[in-house]
Amino acid sequence: MEGTGAPATQPPPAPHPAVAPLAFLLGKWRGEGEGSFPTIAPFRYGEELLFSHHPSKPVISYTQKTWKAASGEPMHAESGYWRPRPDGSVEVVISQSTGLAEVQKGSYDAERKTVTLQSELVGNASKVKQITRAFQVVDGELSYVVQMATITTSLQPHLKALLKKI
Ligand code: HEM
């Protein structure tokens, strides 16, 4: 008897057990965001995020790039590593194209598909004092809010975006 004709594709490798609770983030996401802050003019941007992993490592590799929504010209980019722990905590290091370095600590909820992070360290920044990041996956869409506090302005939103898995 003939087969179904379906191609013999390999299933993707299962993530490391430490990474499994954050499997809802894995893959490539693309979408649009809005930037604002009391001291700047609002702007719109396109964005791609990639969360990748190797089954032997308890860490997620993260890369982000953004571009001007109107022209496609590159804007901010960043990359780093996400280290989830079995107790529901997560630590993240991020290096930004502006030269700023972040150490973030926070927690995840695998059922609600959320991650919330607060900066423990912001390095090599002339203005930024604090950064928070909150991510959520709902109906297969990834949304986030990034807030920051600067030397002149209290903690408030700088970035909001909605991305789809591609
Ligand atoms: C402005 C930080 C991500 C685009 C700023 C300012 C700071 C800042 C400190 C200046 C605010 C002021 O002068 O009061 C950060 C941090 C980020 C981040 C910490 C990540 C955690 C991004 C991203 C984009 C972006 C992803 C683009 C998609 C801009 C733009 C301005 C700005 C266009 C206004 C620039 C200007 O008026 O010269 N950001 N930013 N930022 N940011 Fe960000």
Length of the chain: 166
Query: What is the position in ligand 1's atom list of the atom closest to the CA of 40?
Result: 37
pLDDT for residue 149 is more than 60: yes
Q: Which sequence spans correspond to the domains of the chain?
A: 17-165
* Contacting residues for 156 by C-beta, under 8 A, at least 6 apart: 37, 38, 147, 148, 149
Nearest CA to ligand 1 atom 25: 76
CA 30 – ligand 1 centroid, Å: 20
Residue 63's Cα: distance from chain center in Å? 8
Q: Is the CB of 45 under 6 A from ligand 1?
A: yes
Separation between Cα atoms, residue 90 and residue 104, nearest integer Å: 8
Tokens, residue 135? 């991510």
Among 66, 135, 154, 158, which residue has the most ligand 1 atoms within 8 Å of its CB, making it the best to mutate? 158
Does the model's ipTM exceed the 0.90 cut?
A: yes
Other Cβ atoms less than 10 A from the Cβ of 151: the count is 9
According to the model, what pLDDT value does residue 6 have? 61
Domain 17-165 has CATH 2.40.128.20: yes
Q: Is the CB of 67 under 6 A from ligand 1?
A: no
According to the model, what pLDDT value does residue 81 have? 98
CA 153 – ligand 1 centroid, Å: 13
Q: What is the DSSP letter of 89?
A: E
Tell me the residue type at 94: I
Mind listing the pLDDT tens digit for each residue in 69-112?
Answer: 999 999 999 999 999 999 999 999 999 999 999 999 999 999 99
Tokens, residue 27? 């893959």
Mean pLDDT, range 43-63, rounded to an integer = 98
pLDDT for residue 5 is more than 80: no
Nearest CA to ligand 1 atom 32: 40
According to the model, what pLDDT value does residue 52 have? 97
What is the pTM for the complete model shown?
0.94
Q: Is the CB of 76 under 6 A from ligand 1?
A: yes
